[in-house]
Amino acid sequence: MTRTTQAVRGGLLASAALLTACALPAQAAPHEAAPGNWLYLTVARGDARSADTGGGTLLLCDPPQGHVRAAEACEELDAADGRIDRIPPRADVLCPMIYAPVTASAHGEWNGRPTEYRHTFANSCVLGAETGAVFAPAD
C-alpha cells in the first residue's frame, strides 16, 4: 500500500468516525430539549411493574408533528391544559372486558412546565377510549 493510499484511507476513516460521533447526540437529544409543547410517549404491554417500554414517539405541538394523529392529539391536550388525565373519555366506544394490560407513559413540557404521566389500562381499547388520540397507534 502506498503512503497516498494510506493517507486517503486514514482520512476516510477519520471522516466516518467524526460523522458517526456527531450523529449520535442528535438522535438522543430530541425529547430532552424540544421547543414548545411536547411529550415523549410510550405504550408497553403489561402493568406498571412489568412493562417494557421499548421505543416511543415524540409528539411536538408547535406545529403538530411526529405522531400519526399529531394535530388531533395536540388539540385534545391543549383543551386539557396538557394534562392527559383531563382528556374526556369517549362515550361512543365499547371495549371488551378482556384483561390484557398496557401501560402508557409520557413526559415532556407543556406551557413551560414539566409534565409526567403514567397509567396502566385494562387493555388497549380502554387506553384509546380514555386518552383520545394521544397514544394512538401508528397503524
Q: Please report which residue ranges of 30-139 form alpha helices under DSSP H.
A: 70-79, 124-131
Report the CATH number of the 31-131 domain. Answer: 3.30.350.10
Separation of alpha carbons 81 and 46, rounded Å: 28
Q: Strand, coil or helix: what is 29?
A: coil
Q: In the predicted model, what is the mean pLDDT of the chain? A: 79
pLDDT tens-digit readout, 71-109: 999 999 999 999 999 999 998 999 999 999 999 999 999
Domain-by-domain residue ranges, the chain? 1-29, 31-131
Cis peptide before 30 (omega within 30 of 0): no
Cis peptide before 88 (omega within 30 of 0): no
Tell me: pLDDT of 118 over 90: yes
Q: Where residue 53 falls among pLDDT bands split at 50, 70, 90?
A: low
